[in-house]
Structure 1
């Protein structure tokens, strides 16, 4: 059949109609997506990316009650945060968890402690990379550290952060260091220089996370009052209690951000109340003994989507917000009334440690058993004492 020019006038309106429909449908889809984002994020919490136009919720919502939310963190921090949110996450059920690297950060006054910490790792025959963040090291310090094997020294760039970041004793740099290394490596051990490693085989810690790979029928989560009783009646962690470890494997509810060393008090007693303006909580649960605080300076963490979005996001944003991580007039000196270490505020604040424990407790039933390893047979904390170590001990065996 021969094509006639007159057919164009018959076909054209039909083609044009289809074109307009498809174009409108695509535009409508994009509009609907953006509109749905606005609907799901309260107006007072929205931050919009200058790069992508994506909308972000910058108000922390209490996991058990999404209507309870904190003040919006500043949108000026969005560009910095975005790279972490877009980092490649690990799906523990399907992915192989990357081999962790060791990460630490310190200034010149802690060089002897750092040498001891590095030596404790190398003397065990562990050759994994150690990433060191320079918070103010001298050329001599760097010459000492360069004698160690398999290390990477990164200069912490204070110039891109608020001035408060330079107050090293507020530890605002720590969430930044941890977030960067989780994004870069997928799995890390963060260690303050006071940590001394004692055991090379720490697979029993990894098992607490790796159990999620198995299709097991988990033990049910006990109600809060039964976990209160458990906390009061069971012995606190001491070494490696294999009965508790086996139960934890069967429950398989451990966070992929694990703390290890108990600090000797609860979270509420050493957290400045101003923090709750940004990160609300359930005070009834937070006063209980199972909401214990653990050292923020020794961590095993995996970059899962849950950890990055539900924990690290708020840990980082709080560090960047002056009145969140270090509210005005915060003090490290505590006054525990009648030696009550849980129920009453002791007029002190633990900066990064208060924040990460609060976030982990909120996300894990206010029960330390779900955000700590409960295993303490592979390290000890030594903040002072004999620092007479040989630099050659930092070499790989």
Structure 2
């Protein structure tokens, strides 16, 4: 592991070794990695452990395995893993991080008890987000009269914009793509999500991000909000291991070892509660946002073609962008106590096929009332 200083900011690069990969995605593994593995096997000093992925449909095939040395481990103490994250490269984010409130001082939001709700949508999710807004109006709004809800437009038509402004009962915002690097405009790279989260967190101190597919099952959320204030971040677990659903280029950029994440389930970035304090901003948001702003970390040319995790095989057989990076950060921090950041109980559901023409129905009701 090596480090260098530039303008008082630390950067780190590292060689990932002590691992063997079973790959079927055409990525060449460093020869040093293979030679180390063979030498260690011959000497008999270490034991290989193979992780395999399968499901009830057998979609991933027999080649989907990752062999790692059993003594590959995270750093021993929380503080050491914290320092490891602080050494992630800043990349292309340096011109932006001060304006985004990522350089300090970091003020804790001690007076805020209810988060600002935030979502975003483009035209291809317009019916889906209408169903979400209907759900919010019916389930959540009755319990929180002064709820603040921000809607980010990331690609709506003019007609759709006007419908949101008229019926959403929210603050409409157009996402400022022009302020950020060119790659942020590629929506399938999901780099806009960490940026929106940080913008709102910097303004209000407490935010709840919802993908358009989120549907609340209850409007009584006080206990959930209290847990988020206490722990700084709350979310849910997703599916397969982070090592399989993250491109090897991302691990290489961060100086991380995919072997450490082979059996660590990814988190779901569809629903995230974030509370602003020094720790949350410096250790979670800064690396997440820095990666989003840097082409070659969260997003890189061609990566949008690898979002599908079906009918693929091998280590890094797909890439989950914002979700992958957040998973790496949180597993490194909380691998010994990951339950600390998980949401207990069921407060919401993910319903990607659930759509509605809610705004049209409101228009009809309004017209009928006028008549």
How does the TM-score come out when normalised to structure 2? 0.70
Indicate if the aligned counterparts of 1:101 and 1:131 stay in contact, CA closer than 8 A.
yes
1:130 and 2:149 correspond: yes
CA offset digits 1:265-303 (Å, max 9, x no partner): 121110111112332346554223xx2212112111101
Partner of 1:169, secondary structure, is helix
Indicate if the aligned counterparts of 1:270 and 1:334 stay in contact, CA closer than 8 A.
yes
Indicate if the aligned counterparts of 2:152 and 2:173 stay in contact, CA closer than 8 A.
yes
| Mapping 1:236-385, distance limit 5 Å | 255-260=231-236, 262-281=237-256, 283=258, 285-288=260-263, 291-330=264-303, 331-334=306-309, 345-365=315-335, 368-376=338-346, 378-385=347-354
Task: Identify if the C-alpha distance between structure 1 residues 140 and 106 changes in structure 2 by more than 3 Å, giving closer, same or farther.
Answer: same
CA distance in 1, matches of 2:80, 2:286: 18
Aligned to 1:103: 118
CA distance in 2, matches of 1:337, 1:150: 42
Quote how far apart the aligned CAs of 1:104 are: 1.0
CA distance in 2, matches of 1:293, 1:393: 39
Residue 119 of structure 1, aligned match among 116, 120, 134 = 134
Aligned to 1:44: 4
CA distance in 2, matches of 1:383, 1:209: 25
Quote how far apart the aligned CAs of 1:87 are: 6.1
Task: Identify if the C-alpha distance between structure 1 residues 130 and 165 changes in structure 2 by more than 3 Å, giving closer, same or farther.
Answer: same
Aligned to 1:85: 102
CA distance in 2, matches of 1:139, 1:272: 36
CA distance in 2, matches of 1:383, 1:146: 23
Indicate if the aligned counterparts of 2:251 and 2:257 stay in contact, CA closer than 8 A.
no
Task: Identify if the C-alpha distance between structure 1 residues 392 and 57 changes in structure 2 by more than 3 Å, giving closer, same or farther.
Answer: farther
CA distance in 2, matches of 1:286, 1:64: 17
Indicate if the aligned counterparts of 1:59 and 1:73 stay in contact, CA closer than 8 A.
no
CA distance in 2, matches of 1:174, 1:366: 27
Quote how far apart the aligned CAs of 1:329 are: 4.3
Quote the RMSD (CA, aligned, Å).
3.1
Q: Which segments of 5 or more consecutive residues in structure 2 lack a partner in the other structure?
A: 15-74, 366-371
Indicate if the aligned counterparts of 1:69 and 1:279 stay in contact, CA closer than 8 A.
no
Indicate if the aligned counterparts of 1:256 and 1:302 stay in contact, CA closer than 8 A.
yes
Quote how far apart the aligned CAs of 1:134 are: 1.3
Q: Which segments of 5 or more consecutive residues in structure 1 lack a partner in the other structure?
A: 1-41, 48-54, 213-254, 339-343
**Larger radius of gyration between Structure 1 and Structure 2:** 1
Aligned to 2:89: 72
CA distance in 1, matches of 2:171, 2:312: 45
CA distance in 1, matches of 2:312, 2:95: 44
Quote how far apart the aligned CAs of 1:196 are: 1.0
Quote how far apart the aligned CAs of 1:162 are: 1.8
Task: Identify if the C-alpha distance between structure 1 residues 190 and 69 changes in structure 2 by more than 3 Å, giving closer, same or farther.
Answer: closer
CA offset digits 1:81-131 (Å, max 9, x no partner): 013125674547xx2334211111111221111111111111121441111
CA offset digits 1:295-339 (Å, max 9, x no partner): 11211110111111111111111111111012444312336889x
Count of residues in correspondence between the two structures: 292
Quote how far apart the aligned CAs of 1:164 are: 1.0
Indicate if the aligned counterparts of 2:245 and 2:324 stay in contact, CA closer than 8 A.
yes
CA distance in 2, matches of 1:123, 1:269: 39
Aligned to 1:32: none
